[in-house]
Amino acid sequence: MADSLGTLPLTPMYLSQQPFLKPEELHPTHPDVISRQATINIGTIGHVAHGKSTLVKAITGITTGRFHSEMERNITIKLGYANAKIFKCPKCPEPHNYFPTSSSMPDNSKCKMCGSVGTLVRHISFVDCPGHDFYMATMLTGACVMDAALLLIAADQPCPQSQTKEHLAAIDIAGITKADRVIIVQNKIDLIKEQEAKSHHQQIVNYLNISLKTKNPHIIPTSAVSGYNVDLVLHHIVNKLPIPKRDLTLPPLFMVIRSFDVNKPGYDIDNIRGGVAGGTLLQGMFKLGDTVEIRPGYTIMNEKTGKCSCYPLITKIISIKADENELRYAIPGGLIAIGTFIDPSYTRQDRLVGSVIGYPGHMPPIRLNITIYYELMHQLISAVNTNNTKIAVLAVNEVILFTIGSNSVSGTIKAVRTVNGVEKIADVVMNKPICAKTGEQIAISRKIATGASRSWRLIGWGKIQDNPDWENLNSTEA
C-alpha cells in the first residue's frame, strides 16, 4: 500500500509519476496532472437519438451504454462516462491538427495522419446524458458535475426538439449556458442535402438567439458515425471551452455520482477490497493516505417516530484512479474513483450516490428538513403529449423531486410562504438525509403524465436557505 505521499510507482509506468507538488504549484493543464487525469467535465446533451453517445465513441473509442437494457434498446439510460486525451499535431494544418487518444496512451503519442509526435494539450471527461424525457432526473444529476457541454442537434429533424429545450434549461440551472461554455454540433449532416443543411442551420441559429442569447453561434456540422469534422469538435474543445478556475487550497469536496463493489463472488475474505466511490472533486485536492469523511453515511430511519440517525463514515483513501491510470493525487475537473477501507456493502450498486466526501470538520451539514427559495417556470419546457402545459404552484403535502448536487431525492412540501405576494419560499421534509450547504442550487421536478406514463419533469429551480427552526443531523437522532 502506498504511504500518504504515494511513494510506490504508479501504473502505467510510462506516464508521469506525479511528484508531489504544493497546491499552488499545480494547475489544470500542468503536464504531471493531465498525463493521468482529466481536468474538465464535458456533458453531451440533446434530444434522444441525436448522436450523443456516437460522438463520444468517435472521440474516445468507448461505448458509454454498457448495460444490457441500453444495448438492447440502443439508448442511454444511465449516465455514461468516458475520458480522452487531446493532442495538437505540429505539422497538420489548422483547424484539423487535433487528434484524440485514450487516457492511458503515452504523452508523446503520434498523429495518425502524418506520424508527428503531438503535444498533449487537454485531458477531458465526457458525461453522456440520456436524451429520453423519461430519464430527465438522471440528466439533471449529470448536469451538476459539468463544466461545459456539447449540445447535439440532429440535422434530419426540426430544431428545437423537446429535450433540446429541456436539457438547455437544465444546464442553465447548473450555471453553464454561457455561449463560451456550450459547443453546438449539427450532427447527422450526412443524412440530408446541402440546401436542407443550410435551412436547418438557420433553424438552430434562430433558436439559439433566444435560448443562449447569442447572435452568431458557431455551429459545427458533423457526422459522428463517419468521423466527419470530429477534429473540428476537438479544436473547439481546446480553443473555445475555458477550464474553470480551481482553488486547490480549499478543503476538498468530492461529489459521488456512482459507487461499486470491485470484489467478485467467491473472493477469499483475506483478499476483499474496500468500497470504491466514483465522482468528481468540486474544490481542493485529494492525496493518497488522506483521512476523509463520507456524508450522510449510514442512516437509520425510525418509521414509528419519524426520527433519523446518521452516522458519517470515516475512512482513508488507499487508491485514486482515473480510468486505468493510478493517481498520487487528484484535482477538480475529471471523473475519478477513490478506493477506501469501508465495507464494500456500503458502496455496492450505487448506494453512495448523492454522498459528499471531504475532510472531517470541513463538511456541509446533514439535513433532513430544508427551506428553499424557489422560482417556477410558467409552463413545461417539454410538453409532448400533455394537455395542460401550465405549471401549477407547489401544494402543501405534495411530493416533489429535488436534485441537489448528484442527489435526486423526493421531499414533501410542508409549508409555502410568499414574498411580495408571490409564493417563493417552501419548507420541505426530505425522504432521506442529504449533505448540502446553504446557498446550494437545486433543480425542482414534478411527476407529470406524458401519454400513458408519468415521469419527472423539470418545473423550476431554487437555493437552500438558512432556517433556524430546522436542526441539522450530526450523528445523533433528530
Say if residue 137's pLDDT is above 80.
Answer: no
Say if residue 361's pLDDT is above 60.
Answer: yes
Q: What is the DSSP letter of 111?
A: P
pLDDT at position 70: 42
pLDDT at position 270: 81
Q: What is the phi/psi pair of residue 252, to 5°?
A: -70, 145
Per the model's pLDDT, the better-predicted residue between 231 and 176 turns out to be: 231
pLDDT at position 72: 47
pTM: 0.90
pLDDT at position 100: 98
Are 255 and 356 contacting, i.e. CB atoms less than 8 angstroms apart?
yes
**Mean pLDDT for the chain?**
88
Nearest CA among 460, 448, 455, 464 for reference residue 369 = 464
pLDDT at position 451: 63
Q: CA separation (Å) from 280 to 189, 200, 227, 336, 453?
A: 34, 36, 29, 6, 33
Per the model's pLDDT, the better-predicted residue between 138 and 416 turns out to be: 416
Average pLDDT over residues 36-64: 92
Q: What is the DSSP letter of 199?
A: H
Say if residue 271's pLDDT is above 90.
Answer: no
- C-alpha cell of residue 359: 475532510
Domains, in order of start, for the chain: 40-240 (3.40.50.300), 247-358 (2.40.30.10), 366-465 (2.40.30.10)
pLDDT at position 201: 95
| Segment 53-110, tens digit of pLDDT | 999 999 999 987 554 444 444 444 577 899 999 999 999 999 999 999 999 999 999 9
Q: Helices 136-143 & 162-173, crossing angle to 10 degrees?
A: 40
pLDDT at position 388: 58
Say if residue 370's pLDDT is above 70.
Answer: yes
**pLDDT tier at 135 (50, 70, 90 boundaries)?**
low
Say if residue 112's pLDDT is above 90.
Answer: yes
Say if residue 4's pLDDT is above 50.
Answer: no
Q: What is the phi/psi pair of residue 245, to 5°?
A: -70, 135
| Segment 330-348, tens digit of pLDDT | 999 989 999 999 999 999 9
| Segment 422-457, tens digit of pLDDT | 889 999 999 999 999 999 999 999 998 766 667 888
Q: What is the phi/psi pair of residue 56, to 5°?
A: -60, -40
Residues 62, 334, 256, 25, Cα dihedral to 10°: 160
pLDDT at position 132: 55
Are 320 and 17 contacting, i.e. CB atoms less than 8 angstroms apart?
no
**pLDDT tier at 217 (50, 70, 90 boundaries)?**
confident
